[in-house]
Amino acid sequence: KAGVTQTPRYLIKTRGQQVTLSCSPISGHRSVSWYQQTPGQGLQFLFEYFSETQRNKGNFPGRFSGRQFSNSRSEMNVSTLELGDSALYLCASSLGTSPLYEQYFGPGTRLTVT
Amino acid sequence: AQSVAQPEDQVNVAEGNPLTVKCTYSVSGNPYLFWYVQYPNRGLQFLLKYITGDNLVKGSYGFEAEFNKSQTSFHLKKPSALVSDSALYFCAVRYSGGYQKVTFGTGTKLQVIP
């Protein structure tokens, strides 16, 4: 079974631009979560989607948004990029939102903002 | 609020020796506890989880973890460390009831010395 895929793997943007990252979950997984990973802050939860609805949201500004499509694929968007948005963005999928389910992570998208 | 703590930023152990990576969690409801491992430039990989039942949980690559309710701990262990175990290890918690997000610890870098 194919794992979680994320595109693109690497991205370089300038301040003020916007970016869209994509995540395809494992087949049959309906929950997708997004995380931001930085050396200083560790893994920070962004949001979780299930059945095209946002079920949970972390403490990030409104510049960070996401959505999920009917095939469970998900995108996240960051508008008006800031230098501090440089990070590894990880997507994780699971069968559902139950705490019984472990998450399966993609390789991440490395975003660099200059 | 749910939280996990990994008190050690780094753990060094000689190859062949037993290893322990520590994790404690906040007491709030019924915790579901997870361990993940991250190799350089990769996403996180699921190792094991505690849901209920036996306090000793066995996972991938020879790892195991012991759930201790009285000490609110969930330490990761392995009887004999391999150099290939060198990686970043994350403990995570999710609570039952509603749509609870997953909270990750700050990570512990494990260095296995040949």
Contacts with B102 from chain A: Cβ below 8 Å: 33, 45, 103
Q: pLDDT tens digits, residue range A55-114?
A: 989 999 999 999 999 999 999 999 999 999 999 999 999 998 888 889 999 999 999 999
Provide the pLDDT for residue A44.
Answer: 93
Band of residue B99 on the pLDDT scale cut at 50, 70, 90 = low
B18 Cβ contact partners less than 8 Å away, ≥ 6 residues apart: B77, B78, B79, B80, B81
B92/A44 Cα distance (integer angstroms): 12
Q: Give the nearest partner residue to B46 out of A33, A56, A104, using CB atoms.
A: A104
Q: What's the average model confidence in pLDDT over B71-91?
A: 96
Contacts with A105 from chain B: Cβ below 8 Å: 36, 43-45
Residue B98 pLDDT more than 70?
Answer: no
Q: What's the average model confidence in pLDDT over B54-76?
A: 94
Shortest CA distance to B50 belongs to which of B28, B87, B18, B75? Answer: B75
Q: Give the nearest partner residue to A99 out of B44, B100, B107, using CB atoms.
A: B100
Residue B2: CB atoms within 10 A of its CB come to 16
Q: What's the average model confidence in pLDDT over A24-39?
A: 95
B49/B64 Cα distance (integer angstroms): 9
Contacts with A48 from chain B: Cβ below 8 Å: 99, 101
Question: Between residues A71 and B99, which one has the greater pLDDT?
Answer: A71
Provide the pLDDT for residue A86.
Answer: 97
Provide the pLDDT for residue A39.
Answer: 86
Residue B26 pLDDT more than 90?
Answer: no
B64 within 8 A of B54, measured Cβ to Cβ:
no
Provide the pLDDT for residue A51.
Answer: 92
